[in-house]
Structure 1
Amino acid sequence: MSKRLILALGLSLMGSAAFADMTVQLGGGWDGRKVPAGQHCPLSGGKGSTPPMTVSGIPAGTVWLIAYYNDKSYGPLSQNGGHGTIGYPVKGATADLPAVPGMTAKLPGGVRVIKPARATGDYASPGYLPPCSGGRGNRYTVDIRAVDAAGKVLSELKNVDIGKY
Structure 2
Amino acid sequence: MKTIALTCGLMMAASTAMADMTAQLSGGWDGRKVPAGQQCKLHGGKGSTPPMRVSGIPQGAVWIVAYFNDKSYGPLSRDGGHGTIAYPVRGATTDLPAVPGMSAKLPGGARVIKAARSSGDYASPGYLPPCSGGRGNRYTVDLKAIDKAGKVLDEITNFDIGKY
Letter in 2 for 1:49: S
1:31 equivalent in structure 2: 30
Aligned-partner Cα distance in 2 for 1:41–1:141: 16
| 2:139 counterpart of 1:136 | no
- The yes-or-no answer on 1:68 pairing with 2:67 is yes
Q: How far apart are the structure 2 equivalents of 1:71 and 1:20?
A: 24
Aligned to 1:96: 95
Identity %: 79
2:144 matched residue in structure 1: 145
Separation of aligned partners in 2, 1:20 and 1:149: 20
How far, CA to CA, are the matches of 1:21 and 1:79 in structure 2? 23
Using the alignment, how far apart are the partners of 1:27 and 1:124 within structure 2? 26
Count of residue pairs the alignment pairs up: 149
Query: After superposition, where does 1:44-55 map in structure 2 within 5 Å?
Result: 44-55=43-54
Structure-2 separation of matches of 1:37 and 1:77: 22
TM-score with structure 1 setting the length: 0.89
What TM-score results when the alignment is normalised by the length of structure 2? 0.89
- The C-alpha deviation readout for 1:143-163, integer Å capped at 9, x for no partner, is 000000111100000000000
Give, as a single letter, the amino acid of the residue that structure 2 aligns with 1:26.
L
Per-residue CA distance 1:45-73 (angstroms, 9 max, x = gap)? 00000000000000000000000000000
**Distance in 2 separating the partners of 1:21 and 1:74:** 30
SS of alignment partner, residue 48 of structure 1: coil
- The Cα offsets for residues 54-102 of structure 1, whole Å up to 9 and x where unpaired, read as 0000000000000000000000000000000000001211000000000
Counterpart in the other structure of 2:81:
82
For the aligned residue pairs, the C-alpha RMSD in angstroms reads 1.0
Unaligned runs of 5+ in 1: 1-16
CA shift for structure 1 position 21: 1.4
Runs ≥4 residues deviating over 6 A: none
C-alpha separation between the residues in 2 aligned to 1:43 and 1:20? 38
